[in-house]
Amino acid sequence: MIFLDNNATTQPTVRVVEAMLPYLTDCYYNASASTAAFTGADRPRHEAASAMARLLNAEEPNCFTFTSGATESNNWVFKSVAGGRKIGRVLVSSIEHASVSEPAAELARAGFEVVEVPVDAQGVVRLDALRDALREDTVLVSIMAANNETGVLEPVEEIGRLIHDLCPTALFHTDATQAIGKIPVDLQGEWQNVDLLSFSAHKFHGPKGIGGLYIRPGLELEPLLLGGGQEGGLRAGTSNTPALAGLAVAALSREFHDESIRNLRDNLEIKLLEVIPGILIHSRDSERLPNTSYFSLPGTNAEELVDKLACAGFIVATGAACSSGSLKASQTLIAMDVSHELASSAIRVSISKQTTSNEIKSFLEKLFSLVLPSNPSLLSSGCSTVTAP
Protein backbone atom coordinates (compact mmCIF):
# COMPACT_ATOMS: atom_id res chain seq x y z
CA MET A 1 0.00 0.00 0.00
CA ILE A 2 1.32 3.44 -0.98
CA PHE A 3 -0.16 6.11 1.27
CA LEU A 4 -0.45 9.55 -0.32
CA ASP A 5 -3.11 11.03 1.95
CA ASN A 6 -0.96 12.58 4.66
CA ASN A 7 -3.21 15.60 5.15
CA ALA A 8 -5.78 13.13 6.48
CA THR A 9 -3.33 11.51 8.89
CA THR A 10 0.32 10.51 9.15
CA GLN A 11 2.09 7.37 10.29
CA PRO A 12 3.54 7.66 13.80
CA THR A 13 7.30 7.29 13.73
CA VAL A 14 9.03 4.36 15.41
CA ARG A 15 10.32 6.70 18.12
CA VAL A 16 6.78 7.93 18.81
CA VAL A 17 5.48 4.38 19.22
CA GLU A 18 8.43 3.43 21.43
CA ALA A 19 7.77 6.46 23.66
CA MET A 20 4.14 5.43 24.10
CA LEU A 21 4.67 1.76 24.93
CA PRO A 22 5.89 2.14 28.55
CA TYR A 23 2.70 4.04 29.43
CA LEU A 24 0.62 1.21 28.01
CA THR A 25 2.52 -1.46 29.95
CA ASP A 26 4.63 -0.88 33.07
CA CYS A 27 3.85 2.81 33.71
CA TYR A 28 0.07 2.60 33.26
CA TYR A 29 -0.70 4.75 36.31
CA ASN A 30 -3.15 7.64 36.54
CA ALA A 31 -1.49 11.01 35.98
CA SER A 32 -4.10 12.66 38.23
CA ALA A 33 -3.37 10.49 41.26
CA SER A 34 -1.58 12.00 44.25
CA THR A 35 1.24 9.53 43.63
CA ALA A 36 1.81 10.63 40.01
CA ALA A 37 5.10 12.34 40.85
CA PHE A 38 6.39 9.05 42.26
CA THR A 39 5.10 6.79 39.47
CA GLY A 40 6.18 9.12 36.68
CA ALA A 41 2.69 9.17 35.21
CA ASP A 42 2.66 12.97 35.14
CA ARG A 43 5.85 13.21 33.10
CA PRO A 44 4.32 12.91 29.58
CA ARG A 45 2.03 15.87 30.13
CA HIS A 46 4.92 18.12 31.19
CA GLU A 47 7.10 16.91 28.33
CA ALA A 48 4.33 17.42 25.78
CA ALA A 49 3.69 20.99 26.91
CA SER A 50 7.40 21.82 26.82
CA ALA A 51 7.78 20.25 23.38
CA MET A 52 4.86 22.21 21.93
CA ALA A 53 6.15 25.45 23.46
CA ARG A 54 9.50 24.82 21.82
CA LEU A 55 8.01 23.82 18.46
CA LEU A 56 5.76 26.89 18.24
CA ASN A 57 8.00 29.29 20.19
CA ALA A 58 5.22 29.92 22.70
CA GLU A 59 5.72 32.06 25.77
CA GLU A 60 5.58 29.15 28.21
CA PRO A 61 4.46 25.49 28.40
CA ASN A 62 1.44 26.48 30.48
CA CYS A 63 -0.07 28.06 27.35
CA PHE A 64 -1.21 24.63 26.18
CA THR A 65 -4.33 22.75 27.18
CA PHE A 66 -4.52 19.22 25.79
CA THR A 67 -7.66 17.83 24.18
CA SER A 68 -8.55 14.88 21.97
CA GLY A 69 -7.57 16.91 18.92
CA ALA A 70 -8.28 19.95 16.79
CA THR A 71 -11.98 19.21 16.29
CA GLU A 72 -12.53 19.35 20.03
CA SER A 73 -10.30 22.40 20.37
CA ASN A 74 -12.15 24.26 17.62
CA ASN A 75 -15.51 23.47 19.19
CA TRP A 76 -14.23 24.62 22.56
CA VAL A 77 -13.30 28.05 21.19
CA PHE A 78 -16.82 28.64 19.90
CA LYS A 79 -18.54 27.23 22.97
CA SER A 80 -16.40 29.47 25.17
CA VAL A 81 -17.37 32.51 23.12
CA ALA A 82 -21.03 31.53 23.40
CA GLY A 83 -20.84 31.11 27.16
CA GLY A 84 -18.44 33.80 28.21
CA ARG A 85 -18.75 36.78 25.86
CA LYS A 86 -21.49 39.22 24.98
CA ILE A 87 -23.34 38.59 21.74
CA GLY A 88 -21.57 40.22 18.83
CA ARG A 89 -20.07 39.59 15.42
CA VAL A 90 -18.07 36.45 14.55
CA LEU A 91 -15.96 36.21 11.39
CA VAL A 92 -14.90 32.96 9.73
CA SER A 93 -13.47 32.31 6.30
CA SER A 94 -15.54 30.62 3.60
CA ILE A 95 -13.19 27.60 3.45
CA GLU A 96 -13.04 26.52 7.09
CA HIS A 97 -13.13 22.91 8.26
CA ALA A 98 -16.55 21.73 9.42
CA SER A 99 -15.32 21.77 13.03
CA VAL A 100 -15.23 25.56 12.68
CA SER A 101 -18.08 26.27 10.27
CA GLU A 102 -20.64 24.15 12.13
CA PRO A 103 -19.93 25.61 15.61
CA ALA A 104 -20.08 29.04 13.94
CA ALA A 105 -23.55 28.16 12.66
CA GLU A 106 -24.52 27.24 16.23
CA LEU A 107 -23.44 30.71 17.36
CA ALA A 108 -25.61 32.21 14.62
CA ARG A 109 -28.61 30.29 15.94
CA ALA A 110 -27.79 31.64 19.41
CA GLY A 111 -28.02 35.22 18.18
CA PHE A 112 -24.47 36.04 17.11
CA GLU A 113 -23.95 37.68 13.75
CA VAL A 114 -21.74 35.26 11.84
CA VAL A 115 -20.09 36.60 8.69
CA GLU A 116 -18.17 34.52 6.13
CA VAL A 117 -15.08 36.26 4.81
CA PRO A 118 -14.59 35.32 1.14
CA VAL A 119 -11.42 34.02 -0.47
CA ASP A 120 -9.95 34.82 -3.86
CA ALA A 121 -9.58 32.41 -6.78
CA GLN A 122 -6.44 30.94 -5.20
CA GLY A 123 -8.20 30.29 -1.88
CA VAL A 124 -6.50 33.12 0.02
CA VAL A 125 -8.64 35.16 2.40
CA ARG A 126 -9.39 38.58 0.97
CA LEU A 127 -7.87 41.06 3.39
CA ASP A 128 -9.98 43.88 1.99
CA ALA A 129 -13.14 41.94 2.81
CA LEU A 130 -11.82 41.12 6.27
CA ARG A 131 -11.02 44.77 6.88
CA ASP A 132 -14.56 45.75 5.86
CA ALA A 133 -16.11 43.04 8.05
CA LEU A 134 -14.26 43.99 11.24
CA ARG A 135 -16.42 46.10 13.53
CA GLU A 136 -16.27 47.30 17.09
CA ASP A 137 -18.64 44.52 18.20
CA THR A 138 -16.54 41.72 16.65
CA VAL A 139 -15.79 39.16 19.37
CA LEU A 140 -14.05 36.39 17.40
CA VAL A 141 -12.22 35.92 14.12
CA SER A 142 -11.43 32.31 13.16
CA ILE A 143 -9.36 31.73 10.03
CA MET A 144 -7.37 28.57 9.35
CA ALA A 145 -3.63 28.75 8.86
CA ALA A 146 -3.45 26.26 5.99
CA ASN A 147 -6.23 24.66 4.00
CA ASN A 148 -6.56 20.91 4.27
CA GLU A 149 -7.55 20.48 0.61
CA THR A 150 -5.57 22.96 -1.49
CA GLY A 151 -2.74 23.40 1.01
CA VAL A 152 -2.93 27.18 0.52
CA LEU A 153 -1.35 29.20 3.33
CA GLU A 154 -3.40 32.03 4.75
CA PRO A 155 -1.62 35.29 5.67
CA VAL A 156 -1.80 34.75 9.42
CA GLU A 157 0.64 37.54 10.20
CA GLU A 158 -1.30 40.12 8.16
CA ILE A 159 -4.65 38.91 9.49
CA GLY A 160 -3.43 39.16 13.07
CA ARG A 161 -2.05 42.64 12.54
CA LEU A 162 -5.31 43.79 10.95
CA ILE A 163 -7.38 42.49 13.86
CA HIS A 164 -4.98 43.97 16.41
CA ASP A 165 -5.05 47.39 14.75
CA LEU A 166 -8.75 47.65 13.89
CA CYS A 167 -10.46 45.56 16.56
CA PRO A 168 -8.05 44.80 19.44
CA THR A 169 -10.78 43.37 21.70
CA ALA A 170 -11.63 40.59 19.23
CA LEU A 171 -10.07 37.16 19.72
CA PHE A 172 -8.06 35.74 16.82
CA HIS A 173 -8.28 31.96 16.54
CA THR A 174 -6.52 29.91 13.90
CA ASP A 175 -6.97 26.23 13.16
CA ALA A 176 -3.33 25.33 12.53
CA THR A 177 -3.95 21.60 12.19
CA GLN A 178 -2.41 21.36 8.73
CA ALA A 179 0.37 23.89 9.31
CA ILE A 180 2.16 22.48 12.34
CA GLY A 181 5.02 20.22 11.37
CA LYS A 182 4.96 21.41 7.75
CA ILE A 183 5.88 25.09 8.05
CA PRO A 184 7.61 27.09 10.80
CA VAL A 185 5.24 28.65 13.34
CA ASP A 186 6.41 31.41 15.69
CA LEU A 187 3.90 32.57 18.29
CA GLN A 188 6.23 35.27 19.54
CA GLY A 189 7.21 36.38 16.05
CA GLU A 190 5.07 36.57 12.92
CA TRP A 191 2.10 34.95 14.69
CA GLN A 192 2.29 37.07 17.82
CA ASN A 193 -1.29 38.33 17.43
CA VAL A 194 -2.79 34.84 17.50
CA ASP A 195 -4.81 34.36 20.70
CA LEU A 196 -5.94 30.75 20.21
CA LEU A 197 -4.47 27.97 18.08
CA SER A 198 -5.77 24.43 17.53
CA PHE A 199 -3.70 21.38 16.61
CA SER A 200 -3.74 17.57 16.31
CA ALA A 201 -0.71 15.34 16.83
CA HIS A 202 -1.66 12.78 14.19
CA LYS A 203 -1.08 15.37 11.47
CA PHE A 204 2.65 15.53 12.30
CA HIS A 205 3.50 11.86 12.84
CA GLY A 206 2.14 11.69 16.37
CA PRO A 207 -0.67 9.50 17.70
CA LYS A 208 -4.38 9.95 17.07
CA GLY A 209 -6.70 11.10 19.83
CA ILE A 210 -4.46 13.85 21.20
CA GLY A 211 -4.09 17.51 20.33
CA GLY A 212 -4.69 20.76 22.05
CA LEU A 213 -5.39 24.44 22.20
CA TYR A 214 -2.80 27.16 22.62
CA ILE A 215 -4.25 29.93 24.82
CA ARG A 216 -2.37 33.20 24.97
CA PRO A 217 -1.21 34.00 28.55
CA GLY A 218 -3.74 36.09 30.43
CA LEU A 219 -6.67 34.99 28.28
CA GLU A 220 -9.46 33.20 30.13
CA LEU A 221 -11.75 30.67 28.46
CA GLU A 222 -14.88 29.00 29.75
CA PRO A 223 -14.04 25.44 30.91
CA LEU A 224 -14.77 22.79 28.31
CA LEU A 225 -15.45 19.87 30.67
CA LEU A 226 -16.22 19.90 34.38
CA GLY A 227 -15.70 17.19 36.95
CA GLY A 228 -11.99 17.27 37.72
CA GLY A 229 -9.03 19.56 38.02
CA GLN A 230 -7.12 18.28 34.99
CA GLU A 231 -5.71 20.75 32.48
CA GLY A 232 -5.88 23.61 34.94
CA GLY A 233 -9.56 22.97 35.57
CA LEU A 234 -10.38 23.65 31.92
CA ARG A 235 -10.86 20.08 30.68
CA ALA A 236 -11.77 17.41 33.18
CA GLY A 237 -10.88 13.79 32.52
CA THR A 238 -8.00 11.39 33.00
CA SER A 239 -4.98 12.39 30.93
CA ASN A 240 -4.13 10.24 27.92
CA THR A 241 -0.55 9.64 29.04
CA PRO A 242 0.52 7.28 26.22
CA ALA A 243 -0.68 9.74 23.58
CA LEU A 244 0.95 12.68 25.39
CA ALA A 245 4.25 10.79 25.43
CA GLY A 246 3.96 10.23 21.68
CA LEU A 247 3.02 13.85 21.03
CA ALA A 248 6.09 15.06 22.91
CA VAL A 249 8.42 13.01 20.73
CA ALA A 250 6.64 14.00 17.50
CA ALA A 251 6.77 17.69 18.37
CA LEU A 252 10.49 17.56 19.10
CA SER A 253 11.30 16.12 15.69
CA ARG A 254 13.36 18.46 13.58
CA GLU A 255 12.74 16.62 10.32
CA PHE A 256 9.56 18.47 9.37
CA HIS A 257 10.75 21.42 7.35
CA ASP A 258 12.47 19.33 4.71
CA GLU A 259 12.99 20.85 1.27
CA SER A 260 13.01 17.35 -0.20
CA ILE A 261 9.26 17.12 0.46
CA ARG A 262 8.63 20.26 -1.58
CA ASN A 263 10.90 19.01 -4.36
CA LEU A 264 9.03 15.71 -4.49
CA ARG A 265 5.68 17.52 -4.73
CA ASP A 266 6.98 19.91 -7.38
CA ASN A 267 8.36 17.04 -9.47
CA LEU A 268 4.99 15.30 -9.21
CA GLU A 269 3.25 18.38 -10.60
CA ILE A 270 5.82 18.87 -13.36
CA LYS A 271 5.20 15.31 -14.56
CA LEU A 272 1.42 15.73 -14.29
CA LEU A 273 1.52 18.86 -16.48
CA GLU A 274 3.89 17.20 -18.93
CA VAL A 275 1.72 14.12 -19.49
CA ILE A 276 -1.76 15.59 -18.89
CA PRO A 277 -1.86 19.11 -20.40
CA GLY A 278 -5.56 19.40 -19.56
CA ILE A 279 -5.00 19.07 -15.82
CA LEU A 280 -5.84 21.98 -13.51
CA ILE A 281 -3.66 22.40 -10.41
CA HIS A 282 -5.41 24.45 -7.77
CA SER A 283 -3.72 27.29 -5.82
CA ARG A 284 -0.44 26.66 -7.64
CA ASP A 285 0.20 30.40 -7.90
CA SER A 286 -0.03 30.92 -4.12
CA GLU A 287 2.06 29.88 -1.16
CA ARG A 288 1.09 26.33 -0.24
CA LEU A 289 2.03 23.59 2.14
CA PRO A 290 5.12 21.92 0.66
CA ASN A 291 3.52 18.48 0.71
CA THR A 292 0.16 19.14 -0.96
CA SER A 293 -1.05 18.96 -4.56
CA TYR A 294 -4.74 19.36 -5.38
CA PHE A 295 -5.70 18.99 -9.02
CA SER A 296 -8.77 18.54 -11.20
CA LEU A 297 -8.98 16.13 -14.11
CA PRO A 298 -11.86 17.53 -16.23
CA GLY A 299 -14.36 14.89 -17.26
CA THR A 300 -13.24 12.50 -14.51
CA ASN A 301 -15.34 11.31 -11.58
CA ALA A 302 -13.00 11.86 -8.65
CA GLU A 303 -14.81 9.47 -6.31
CA GLU A 304 -14.60 6.62 -8.79
CA LEU A 305 -10.96 7.35 -9.57
CA VAL A 306 -10.00 7.40 -5.89
CA ASP A 307 -11.70 4.02 -5.44
CA LYS A 308 -9.87 2.53 -8.43
CA LEU A 309 -6.56 3.83 -7.15
CA ALA A 310 -7.28 2.36 -3.72
CA CYS A 311 -8.00 -1.03 -5.28
CA ALA A 312 -4.61 -0.78 -6.98
CA GLY A 313 -2.91 0.03 -3.67
CA PHE A 314 -2.66 3.83 -3.83
CA ILE A 315 -4.40 5.92 -1.17
CA VAL A 316 -5.27 9.48 -2.16
CA ALA A 317 -8.33 11.64 -1.46
CA THR A 318 -10.99 13.74 -3.10
CA GLY A 319 -10.56 16.43 -0.44
CA ALA A 320 -11.26 16.53 3.27
CA ALA A 321 -11.21 13.08 4.87
CA CYS A 322 -13.92 14.14 7.30
CA SER A 323 -16.34 14.62 4.41
CA SER A 324 -15.36 11.61 2.34
CA GLY A 325 -18.11 9.23 1.31
CA SER A 326 -20.19 12.11 0.00
CA LEU A 327 -20.65 12.89 -3.68
CA LYS A 328 -20.78 16.62 -2.93
CA ALA A 329 -18.23 18.74 -4.73
CA SER A 330 -15.45 20.32 -2.71
CA GLN A 331 -16.91 23.32 -0.89
CA THR A 332 -13.44 24.82 -0.71
CA LEU A 333 -13.19 24.88 -4.50
CA ILE A 334 -16.75 26.17 -4.82
CA ALA A 335 -15.80 29.03 -2.50
CA MET A 336 -12.88 29.73 -4.87
CA ASP A 337 -15.38 30.09 -7.75
CA VAL A 338 -14.27 26.84 -9.35
CA SER A 339 -17.07 25.25 -11.37
CA HIS A 340 -19.02 22.33 -9.89
CA GLU A 341 -17.74 20.08 -12.68
CA LEU A 342 -14.10 20.83 -11.93
CA ALA A 343 -14.65 20.65 -8.17
CA SER A 344 -16.16 17.18 -8.62
CA SER A 345 -13.08 15.96 -10.48
CA ALA A 346 -10.50 17.09 -7.91
CA ILE A 347 -7.92 14.74 -6.40
CA ARG A 348 -5.64 15.55 -3.46
CA VAL A 349 -2.18 14.05 -3.10
CA SER A 350 -0.42 14.84 0.17
CA ILE A 351 3.00 13.38 0.87
CA SER A 352 5.22 13.16 3.94
CA LYS A 353 8.85 12.73 4.89
CA GLN A 354 8.27 8.98 4.51
CA THR A 355 7.17 9.24 0.85
CA THR A 356 9.76 8.14 -1.73
CA SER A 357 10.35 9.16 -5.33
CA ASN A 358 9.71 5.57 -6.43
CA GLU A 359 6.29 5.69 -4.78
CA ILE A 360 5.45 8.87 -6.67
CA LYS A 361 6.64 7.28 -9.91
CA SER A 362 4.46 4.21 -9.34
CA PHE A 363 1.46 6.38 -8.49
CA LEU A 364 1.83 8.44 -11.65
CA GLU A 365 2.08 5.35 -13.83
CA LYS A 366 -1.12 3.96 -12.35
CA LEU A 367 -2.93 7.30 -12.54
CA PHE A 368 -2.05 7.74 -16.21
CA SER A 369 -3.14 4.19 -17.04
CA LEU A 370 -6.52 4.73 -15.37
CA VAL A 371 -7.31 8.22 -16.64
CA LEU A 372 -5.93 8.69 -20.14
CA PRO A 373 -7.52 5.75 -22.02
CA SER A 374 -11.03 6.74 -20.88
CA ASN A 375 -10.53 10.50 -21.12
CA PRO A 376 -8.25 11.35 -24.08
CA SER A 377 -9.41 14.98 -24.00
CA LEU A 378 -7.00 15.49 -21.09
CA LEU A 379 -4.17 15.16 -23.60
CA SER A 380 -5.20 18.43 -25.22
CA SER A 381 -3.48 21.54 -23.97
CA GLY A 382 -5.30 23.61 -21.36
CA CYS A 383 -4.56 26.01 -18.56
CA SER A 384 -2.33 24.53 -15.88
CA THR A 385 -3.59 26.56 -12.97
CA VAL A 386 -6.97 27.67 -11.75
CA THR A 387 -7.22 31.41 -11.40
CA ALA A 388 -10.83 31.91 -12.41
CA PRO A 389 -13.88 29.79 -13.23
- Contact yes or no for 145/114 (Cβ under 8 A): no
* Predicted local confidence at residue 314, as pLDDT: 99
* Predicted local confidence at residue 387, as pLDDT: 37
Q: Strands, E, within the chain: which ranges? A: 2-3, 64-67, 89-93, 113-117, 138-142, 171-175, 196-200, 211-215, 280-282, 292-296, 314-315, 346-350, 385-386
pLDDT digits (tens, 9 = 90+) for 230-268: 988 899 999 999 999 999 999 998 655 678 999 999 999
* Predicted local confidence at residue 150, as pLDDT: 98
Q: Which range is least confidently modeled, 23-37, 115-129, 317-331?
A: 317-331
Q: Which of 81-95, 205-219, 244-258, 375-389 is the most confident on average?
A: 205-219
Q: Which range is least confidently modeled, 29-38, 268-277, 366-375?
A: 29-38
- According to DSSP, the residues that pair with 138 across neighbouring strands are 89
Pick the catalytic residue from 167, 311, 322, 383: 322
Share the mean pLDDT of the chain.
92
Show the domains of the chain with their CATH numbers.
2-8+257-386 (3.90.1150.10), 14-252 (3.40.640.10)
The answer to whether residue 376 scores a pLDDT higher than 50 is: yes
Above pLDDT 70, what percent of the chain?
94
Catalytic residue flag (residue 322) = yes
The answer to whether residue 172 scores a pLDDT higher than 70 is: yes
Q: Among the residues of 28-109, which ranges form H helices?
A: 36-39, 43-56, 70-84, 98-109
* Predicted local confidence at residue 134, as pLDDT: 98
| Phi, psi of 2, deg, nearest 5 | -105, 115
